[in-house]
Amino acid sequence: MQNAIFFDLDGTLTDSGPGIMNCAQLALDHFGIPVPSREALRVFVGPPLRQTFARFGVPPERIDEAIQVFRGRYVPIGKFENTPYPGIQELLHALQAEGYALYVATSKPQVTAIEVLEHFHLAQYFQVICGASLDEGRETKEDVITYLLSQIGSPDQVVMVGDTDYDVIGARAHGIDTIGVTWGYGEREAMVAAGAVALADTPQDLHRLLTQPR
């Protein structure tokens, strides 16, 4: 079987922060929860919404309501307030041509992840796009990777690529190493502390790290 690379989506392949933060702000305003700064909303990019709304003080019994308000704007508008990072399409094209099997493992709802990747003409590079599904009990990055592995079997060699410690922790639960990318929304120190085996500052750095012998 081909060597496999699992890519996170938000903050790794595309800069989805503007749309996510705009919708998070709307939902927090709905509850009258003050936000200290725009920068504080960056933590919404990556982890499941349920976890992050709880961090901002949304009562447990109203988190579903917060998610509904968020998605009321995100589904028609916010998901496209988004841009692929420079060099990502070239990276994916090169890896595919070099024989790597590419997959997406994201905590974004699967149907939305597919829509976003198709919109930006990136879906063609991935053999499977796997995301969250509350109906099927997939919410965390660990859950998503569990499901993805169940779909594809066990590759000879697999590595995760993501921009937060959340990606590192989810992959580590499966014994998968993670290369962290620093252009997204996580913190370098947090990724290293969680066990990232390397950090890439550019897609060119990432290509080198992914293709060097391990």
Residues in contact with 54: Cβ distance below 8 Å, sequence separation at least 6, in sequence order: 60, 63
Q: Is 205 considered catalytic here?
A: no
Q: How many CA atoms lie within 13 A of 40 on its CB side?
A: 10
Question: Which residue is associated with the tokens 């392949």?
Answer: 13
Catalytic, out of 8, 143, 163, 165: 8
| d(C-alpha 104, C-alpha 181), whole Å | 15
Q: 196 near 168, Cβ under 8 Å? A: yes
Catalytic residues: 8
